[in-house]
Amino acid sequence: MAQTSGTFSSYDAVGNREALMDRIFMLAREETPLLSNVRQGKATAKNEEWQVDSLAAAATNAQVEGDEFAYTQPASTTRVGNRLQISRKTAVVTRTQNQVNKAGRDSEMSYQIMKRTKELRRDMEYDLNANNTAVAGNDTTAAELGGWPAWLTTNVSRGSGGANGGFTGGFATAATDGTQRAFTETLLKAVHKAAWDSGGRPRIAMMGSAQKQVFSTFTGLAANRVNQSASGQATIIAASDVYVGDFGKLTTVLNPFMRTREVLLLDTEMMEVRYLQKPKIVDVAPNGDAEKKAIITEYTLAVLNEAAHGVVADLT
C-alpha cells in the first residue's frame, strides 16, 4: 500500500535524536601467551648476557684402589646474550576532543592510552616470537632482540633445505626456512624426546590456530589415560588441550602472534623476559593545542638455555 498523501515521516523530519550506544565494541586478540607464561627479570645493560653450561656425559666410573688421581680440564661455560629493544606507542589528542561530550568513553586520552597499551603488548609478543636476527643498533638504526625461534639449534625438526640460526658472532641469528610439510604426531614426538634427552622439561606446546586444528586430530590423544583420583579411576583425555606423551605432559597454548609454520615447545624455567624499563606512560611536552603521551618499554628475551626448548618448523 502507498503512504497517505500529506504524511509527515521520519524521512522528512529534522531534529530526531540519534541513538548511539554509550559503548565501544572492540574485537581483537589481546592475549600474549609468551609474555604471560615466562618469568620476568631485570636487565642492566644494552646487551644482556648470561652463561650456559652442561655436564659431561655419564660413563662407567670404576677406579683402582690406591690409584693416583688424574685430572681432566673441564669445558668452559659459553657466554651468550641478546640485545635490548625499545618499543613504544604514542597518542596525541586535541584539547577540543578531550572536552566535548563523547559516546563510549569519558576521556579520549585515557581511551587512546588503553588501546595503545594493548597494541604495545601485542607488538612485544610478535617480536619475542619472531624468527629475527638480533641487531646491535646505533645512532641511526634501532636495536632489535633475537626472537626465540632464532635461538633454537638442538631440538629441532626442519623441512628440506631448512637450517638452524642460533647464537653466533655475538648475535642470535634467524633460522633459514625449509620446504613446508604437514604437521604430524611423529614430528612432535621426535622433538619432545630430543628436548627430554637434552635435559629440558618443556611443558607447553605453543602453536597457531591452523596447527592446533591438526594437533587435535592426533590419534594418541584419545588413547592416553591418566589417574586423577585416589580411587585410581582413569579419565580418557578426549580434548587436545593436554597431550600426555612419553616424556611428560604438554599443554597446548594458542598464540595468534607466532608464525603459523612453527610449533614451539617451551620450558618456562629456561626463558625470561628482562626489562630495563617496564611499559611506562610518559607525558610529552605539547607544541600545539593538544595533549601528548607515550608508552615506552625497553626489554629483551633471555633464552637461558636453548637446549631446553624445541621447534617443529616448516609446517604447512
Decide if 120 contacts 89 (C-beta within 8 A): yes
pLDDT over 50 (residue 88): yes
pLDDT confidence of residue 221 = 63
pLDDT over 50 (residue 83): yes
pLDDT over 90 (residue 219): no
> What average pLDDT does the segment 250-275 reach?
94
The yes/no answer on whether domain 33-49+77-312 falls in CATH 3.90.1690 is yes
Helix, strand, or coil (residue 205): strand
Q: What pTM did the predictor assign?
A: 0.88
Band of residue 97 on the pLDDT scale cut at 50, 70, 90: very high
CA 263 to chain centre: 12
Beta bridge partners of 267: none
Give the residue ranges of DSSP H helices in the chain: 33-37, 95-99, 108-128, 148-151, 185-197, 209-215, 220-223
- What is the Cα–Cα distance from 69 to 89, expressed in whole angstroms? 62
Residue 143: closest CA among 315, 298, 309: 298
**Residues 143-195: tens digit of each pLDDT:** 999 999 999 999 999 999 999 999 999 999 999 999 999 999 999 999 999 99
Q: CB-based contacts of 225: which residues, under 8 Å, 6+ apart?
A: 234, 235, 236, 237
pLDDT confidence of residue 287 = 86
- Domain boundaries, given as residue ranges, for the chain: 33-49+77-312
**Residues 99-153: tens digit of each pLDDT:** 999 888 889 999 999 999 999 999 999 999 999 999 999 999 999 999 999 999 9
pLDDT over 60 (residue 277): yes
**Counting runs of H as helices and runs of E as strands, what totals does the chain give?**
7, 16
**CA separation, residue 262 to residues 158, 199, 206, 207 (Å):** 10, 22, 9, 7
**Residues 16-39: tens digit of each pLDDT:** 888 878 787 777 788 899 999 999
